Amino acid sequence: KILITGANGQLGCVLTETLQGRYGLENVIASDLREKENIRGIFEVIDATDYDRIQHVVTQYKITQIYHLAAILSAKGEANPLQTWDINTKTFLNVLEISRLNGIEKVFYPSSIAVFGDAALKNNTPNDAYLNPSTAYGISKVDGENWSQYYFLKYGLDVRSIRYPGVIGYQSLPGGGTTDYAVDIYHKAVLKEPFTCFLNEDTTLPMIYMDDVIRATVELMEAPSEKIKIRTSYNIAGVSFSPKEIASEISKVFPNFTIEYKPDFREDIAKRWSKSIDDSQAKADWGWKPNYNLEAITKAMISALNDYYKEAV
Ligand code: VAH
């Protein structure tokens, strides 16, 4: 039985559906701080800062695996560091401690390319780069990575983690992230509206398509334990592009599409992150391979959002 926290979130809702498809609707317990949004199947409201509440649900459903997706993203995290600490770090420690005390078999922890700061190489950032993040969010993710490794080394808890790039998908909207523009831009393009970008035109960031990132998560979690050599977190790469490059790809489909640039505080966050990621370790250890480049992402996003907005009319 699998428990997912943060199931209403950008990735949580898609991962819930994928795991339900793989392991059966009755074997996946979705949870979130808020009442259920676009989720079928079993759902529990869980405030993951509440240790007893998680423990209760773990006992009630005889949970054997936990995917801990509840988190505050980078841009929103800057407004309230204490809340970011509670929601990103305290909740994860609750999950780890409950996992070890209840014999949970596997735990998944989403880290982020936000763990990288000025000390890391900007291009092809290696897995073992020195981590000096510049945001409250990045600090919380480095912390989570270290706690993962600690619980693995000290208690043998099978915690696995990926450093997610910015995730692009049509199924859901991100909230409070710095990479969110790369989802919003497709919505505006399909609605034939102009787009205002909060990053500079040349600010390149690592991104990944939803299908790829969900597949990476499932593949990592299904890999034999001895293949998982890194117990902090794995770099994975999808595609890297700047706002100018995504806009130019969109213009091939919508020649009248317009974009203007009004960089705000999120530009300061983005410029300290990596531009591209070296994922050779994930490739070597558990066979990771991305499928979607920018052209394929653009095609898939526009076609899915066209259908979505047609049905919505
Ligand atoms: C954010 N999407 O923008 C997240 C992500 C790569 C960054 O973790 O905050």
pLDDT of 313 > 70? The answer is no
Nearest atom of ligand 1 to the alpha carbon of 112 = 8
pLDDT over 90 percentage in the chain: 97
At 257-299, the pLDDT tens digits run 999 999 999 999 999 999 999 999 999 999 999 999 999 999 9
Tens of pLDDT, residue by residue over 68-100, are: 999 999 999 999 999 999 999 999 999 999 999
Smallest CA separation from ligand 1 atom 7, residue? 166
Q: Which of ligand 1's atoms lies nearest the C-alpha of 176? A: 9
Pairing assessment for the beta strands 166-168 and 205-209 based on DSSP bridges = parallel
What integer is the mean pLDDT of 133-156? 98
Q: Rg of the chain over CA atoms, in angstroms?
A: 19
CA of residue 111 to ligand 1 center, whole Å: 9
Q: Cα separation of 70 and 290, whole Å?
A: 25
Residues near 32 by beta carbon (within 8 Å), at least 6 away in sequence? 5, 6, 7, 8, 9, 12, 43, 45, 46, 70
Q: Which helix (H) or strand (E) holds 165?
A: none
Q: How far apart are the first and last CA of the chain?
A: 39
169-206+238-275+292-312 shares the fold of 2-167+209-235: no
pLDDT band at 311 (very low <50, low <70, confident <90, very high): confident
How many Cα atoms sit within 13 Å of 261 on the Cβ side? 12
- Does the global pTM surpass 0.90? yes
pLDDT of 312 strictly over 90: no
Distance of alpha carbon 18 from alpha carbon 13, whole angstroms: 9
CATH of 169-206+238-275+292-312, picked from 3.30.1370, 1.20.120, 3.40.50, 3.90.25, is 3.90.25
Residue 200, H or E segment: none
CB atoms < 10 A from the CB of 83, how many? Answer: 14
Q: What is the mean pLDDT of residues 150-163?
A: 98
Separation CA 65–CA 98 (nearest Å): 11
> Which runs of consecutive H residues, i.e. helices, occur in 29-180?
51-61, 74-79, 81-84, 91-101, 136-155
Percent of the chain with pLDDT over 70: 99
Alpha-carbon span 186 to 111, nearest angstrom:
25
The C-alpha atoms of residue 97 and residue 90 are separated, in whole angstroms, by 11
Q: Structural domain boundaries of the chain?
A: 2-167+209-235, 169-206+238-275+292-312
Q: Please, which residues bridge with residue 44 across strands? A: 31
Give the tens place of pLDDT for each residue, 165-222.
999 999 998 889 999 999 999 999 999 999 999 999 999 999 999 999 999 999 999 9
Look up the CATH architecture of domain 2-167+209-235.
Answer: 3-Layer(aba) Sandwich (3.40)
Catalytic residue, candidates 67, 109, 137, 164: 137
Mean pLDDT, residues 132-143: 97
Q: Which residues line ligand 1 (CB under 6 A)?
A: 73-74, 112-114, 137, 164-166, 174, 177-179
The verdict on whether 67 is a catalytic residue reads no
pLDDT value, residue 116? 98
Please name which of 170, 173, 239, 169 lies closest in space to residue 210, comparing C-alpha atoms.
169
Closest CA to 10 of 84, 74, 100, 104: 74
Distance (Å, rounded) from C-alpha 146 to C-alpha 180? Answer: 26
